[in-house]
Amino acid sequence: MRRLLLVSTSTTHGTGYLDHCADEARARFEGCGRVLFVPYALHDRDGYAEKARERFATMGLGLDALHTALDPHEAVAEARGFFIGGGNTFRLLKTLQDLGVVDAIRRRCLEDGVPYMGTSAGSNVATRSIHTTNDMPIVWPSTLDALGLVPFNLNPHYLDPDPGSTHMGETRETRIREFHEEHDVPVLGLREGAMLKVDGDRAAVVGERGGRLFRRGADAVEVAPGESVDFLLA
């Protein structure tokens, strides 16, 4: 049974790293003891792992970093929990592909029920594909298909249009609409402070802020904190 916590942003404005999602993270990893951290979205893997390790220690959890594992396949096979951090989604997915661990992480989460937490790029990569990332394509993965732990897409750091803006670049909503000109896959925009919690066939948006759900040919709808989105898993 899958047990996921897909967080929009690691840090909300005015709070510390993972503060806003610490209670949910602790609950998600209860009984795991240690989690396997995947730092590939950032360039400085050592620094990133150290930052995550210190934060997880305050939650009473140990943390091993995948990039220091002698055998990454063995590390994935033995992981009791996964935490994939944010950064650049293309770099993250490409590195997982290059290591050949995409299928193994998917199986561990879907078949073995290993808890998975992602923030930002780490949430994006958990979904059907990374077609709805906000990031620059600084590297080019072999495919944009991702871990597929849920059958829809996310847009982390979802931003509502700013009516006072003079910027003429596309709004986030316009970009997601462009995705729907090409694909018929729902996209759940998660505002900063929001998370998607998935337990088997149950899913809900939780946190301080909600989400906005986009489907092809339909008006966007609000998803308030606490609201179920089980239907997205059907």
Query: In this chain, which stretch among 45-53, 181-189, 203-211, 214-222 interacts with its own copies, using CB under 8 A?
Result: 181-189
Strands 82-84 and 221-223: unpaired
- CA separation, residue 193 to residues 76, 86, 107, 121 (Å): 29, 14, 29, 15
Instruction: Count the neighbouring beta carbons within 10 Å of the beta carbon of residue 178.
Output: 12
SS3 for 119-167 is ECHHHHCCCCECCCCCCCCCCCCCCCECCCCCCCEEEEEECCCCCCCCC
Residue 131 contacts its own copies per CB under 8 A: yes
Cβ nearer to its own copies, comparing 42 with 206: 42
**Mask of contacts with its own copies, 88-107, x by CB under 8 A?**
x-xx----------------
Is the torsion defined by CA of 224, 227, 231, 234 positive or negative?
Answer: positive
Q: What minimum distance in Å lies between the beta carbon of 199 and its own copies? A: 27
Residue 176 contacts its own copies per CB under 8 A: yes
Residue 212 contacts its own copies per CB under 8 A: no
Residue 51 contacts its own copies per CB under 8 A: no
Residue 124 contacts its own copies per CB under 8 A: no
Cβ nearer to its own copies, comparing 36 with 119: 119
**Which residues sit at the interface with its own copies, rule CB under 8 A?**
9, 11-14, 43, 87-88, 90-91, 120, 130-140, 143-144, 156-157, 159, 166-170, 175-176, 178-179, 181-183, 192
